[in-house]
Chain A
């Protein structure tokens, strides 16, 4: 019997909205897939694009960012900064052959425990279908010649 693939999802949740919503989902005994590993941050604006890359590097099959609805940020506009970075990072991940479904940004307010449940279940389902993330190992060029060769390859 082959073991079923269980995706690992790293979630960066804003302390004021999505993290509270996840708490609410817990208090309300809502069941959702246990594949999400939550990292609490004070604001979705704290999410450094490096965190997402690091998560994928360290074995995450998906990354979820949960922030406040537009206009509701506890720090006024941190969620807009998160949105900007999200859109800038998307094409980079595409270049790395990381599918669209693996990286998601959601606005979830503190009262939307059901939305936490829905988003997580949806994401786990989609990523389970995609299978584990297989990142190509990066070969670091050793010599200058190799480096130039690589450059040319990209140029072609």
Chain B
């Protein structure tokens, strides 16, 4: 252990600690620009300068890279230190006049202007090299570095050209203290505030606040460690050492008696309808993205903001996006009218914006639903009956300048209207999961023509499927709102439990059997059975059907050349009589 004094206070720290770290332990703030706790210190900005007194005398040192020594006496705020920082900050101001953080820091020391000459008034880079170190030590790519010397020194890519080694991880922009490095928006727009990324903005996140289990997960597609084998910062800072990069998805086989299918739905991809401009025009969002904005634990803390960070003054909500449309899905997605009304209500409540709903028909059946609609009408929502034709940023007059214009026929007025709004919310419909067909085949069940899983009978067996022991829960069976999903899933669970609780399985009575005296032992039936229910009894020279394995399709019966194989409820005799019977009347 090393003993030293900082601003007169004694402290004991482990050897190898820097003065900056020791000061932090005592709670003394030392300003820094080029320092990051996860990167090697570089002492480029020199604003962390402190005064150190040892046996050789007083000396100014950069605290970020100076290791403590026994008997050191450190002053973090002496006059000499302040004087040195003032000069350093003036030099930095001359290098990067546009770097706000530098001017702010300088203002703290009473420095308003620099006495040195600056070359470029727009310059923000203070050449601290944090980005270069982050690229090398975190991203492991060294895609950027310093070029030239003296006053020509810059941070750039080799030969100043687009560099393939860059994995666009954004580490450089993240660590840059002055904002000299920014990430480009894919649409070429200026990203005004980073919080507007509606997706996860980190490679390691807890999916959402209420997630169960409430544990972070790594997105291996985005994580730098999985790209370059570098970084590993999360593992470094995680004290319980919970991070394990070697974890892989595992497939476990579990034996079960019943299966509930609850694979849910996916929302309609709004970019399929090009005329609504989703993905092309700014501030055209889907209802789910609105939910993210409106969420108190979301990226904006629950504020409804547009891409430029301002609050919308007028909002259009377009209903039936991808629903009730011959070009996309013919069916009604059932939940969108109600959630659109909810969005309209929240929008008006949170932003005070004028809200325009564009609907085909307002469908509000359900307990309390119509009342909610009535309430919204009283709150002064604009409800325009007519499918919106398109959304564009093409202005025809001054009012429309800089706005999104929704063009729609108002069928109640009988005229085409153009409504300029700041933000458009698309009420996307519900669709079966893209792999519903695959799942359907796996469980040998059917899909309705829209692609939703088909129940055994709409009234008599609404949660069962054509496969015994497989039940349907939730919107994989068809669009449902939350109360309906809860009720229907409860029924599915009850059916599944009833089957487990009974402890035995009821077989269909229509199994096949063999008249031993008729059987010639030709074995025709045996390879036909897909369930291997037929075996051959050598000593009797006959086939035998295991009734527990037989599913009762009757394929073997149809193939038996001697009529020895028969099916309960469907014997040859019965079917011949049935044929006669159905043909007996005119």
Task: Verify A55–B579 contact, CB threshold 8 A.
Answer: yes
Is B555's beta carbon under 8 Å from chain A? yes
Closest chain-B Cβ to A58's Cβ sits at a distance in Å of: 5
Task: Verify A51–B575 contact, CB threshold 8 A.
Answer: yes
Task: Verify A10–B446 contact, CB threshold 8 A.
Answer: no
Task: Verify A42–B446 contact, CB threshold 8 A.
Answer: no
The interface stretch among A76-84, A92-100, A124-132, A136-144 is A76-84
Query: Which of A46, A50, A51, A60: most chain B Cβ within 10 A?
Result: A46
| The 9 nearest A-B residue pairs measured at CB | A46-B554, A37-B582, A45-B555, A75-B553, A43-B553, A76-B530, A48-B558, A111-B448, A110-B446
Task: Verify A42–B578 contact, CB threshold 8 A.
Answer: no
- In whole angstroms, what is the CA distance A46 to B511 when docked? 12
What are 17 A-B contacts defined by CB distance under 8 Å? A6-B586, A10-B582, A37-B582, A37-B583, A39-B579, A42-B554, A43-B553, A43-B555, A48-B559, A51-B575, A58-B579, A58-B583, A74-B444, A74-B466, A76-B444, A81-B558, A110-B466
Is A41's beta carbon under 8 Å from chain B? yes
- In whole angstroms, what is the CA distance A72 to B444 when docked? 7
Task: Verify A10–B572 contact, CB threshold 8 A.
Answer: no
Task: Verify B553–A111 contact, CB threshold 8 A.
Answer: no
- In whole angstroms, what is the CA distance A94 to B466 when docked? 37
Task: Verify B583–A77 contact, CB threshold 8 A.
Answer: no
Is A156's beta carbon under 8 Å from chain B? no
Closest chain-B Cβ to A72's Cβ sits at a distance in Å of: 7
Chain B contacts for A6, CB-based, 8 A: 586
Chain B contacts for A110, CB-based, 8 A: 446, 454, 466
Closest chain A residue, CB of each to CB of B555: A45
| Given A54-B576, A110-B446, also A78-B553 (CB < 8 A) | yes
Closest chain-B Cβ to A99's Cβ sits at a distance in Å of: 19
- In whole angstroms, what is the CA distance A3 to B557 when docked? 41
Chain A contacts for B331, CB-based, 8 A: none
Write the A9-34 contact mask toward B (1 if CB under 8 angstroms, else 0). Answer: 01000001100000000010000000
Is B17's beta carbon under 8 Å from chain A? no
Chain B contacts for A17, CB-based, 8 A: 446
Is B570's beta carbon under 8 Å from chain A? yes
| Given A74-B444, A111-B446, also A10-B555 (CB < 8 A) | no
Closest chain-A Cβ to B478's Cβ sits at a distance in Å of: 12
Chain B contacts for A49, CB-based, 8 A: 558
Task: Verify B558–A45 contact, CB threshold 8 A.
Answer: yes
Is B447's beta carbon under 8 Å from chain A? yes
Known: A10-B582, A51-B579. 14 other contacts (CB 8 A): A37-B583, A39-B578, A41-B575, A43-B554, A43-B555, A45-B555, A51-B575, A58-B579, A60-B583, A74-B466, A75-B531, A81-B558, A85-B558, A111-B446
Task: Verify B558–A47 contact, CB threshold 8 A.
Answer: yes
Interface residues of A (CB under 8 A from B): 6, 8, 10, 16-17, 27, 37-39, 41-43, 45-51, 54-55, 58-60, 71-72, 74-78, 81, 85, 109-112
Write the B519-533 contact mask toward A (1 if CB under 8 angstroms, else 0). Answer: 000000000101100
Closest chain A residue, CB of each to CB of B558: A48
- In whole angstroms, what is the CA distance A109 to B441 when docked? 13
| Given A55-B579, A110-B446, also A46-B458 (CB < 8 A) | no
Is B567's beta carbon under 8 Å from chain A? yes
Closest chain-B Cβ to A63's Cβ sits at a distance in Å of: 10
- In whole angstroms, what is the CA distance A146 to B575 when docked? 35
| Given A39-B582, A81-B528, A81-B558, also A46-B553 (CB < 8 A) | yes
Closest chain-B Cβ to A41's Cβ sits at a distance in Å of: 6
Closest chain-A Cβ to B369's Cβ sits at a distance in Å of: 27
Chain A contacts for B531, CB-based, 8 A: 75-76
Is B552's beta carbon under 8 Å from chain A? yes
Is B580's beta carbon under 8 Å from chain A? yes
Task: Verify B555–A8 contact, CB threshold 8 A.
Answer: no
- In whole angstroms, what is the CA distance A71 to B351 when docked? 54
- In whole angstroms, what is the CA distance A85 to B561 when docked? 13
Chain B contacts for A48, CB-based, 8 A: 557-559, 572, 575
Within 8 A of A (CB), among B532-586: 551-555, 557-559, 567, 570, 572, 575-576, 578-580, 582-583, 586
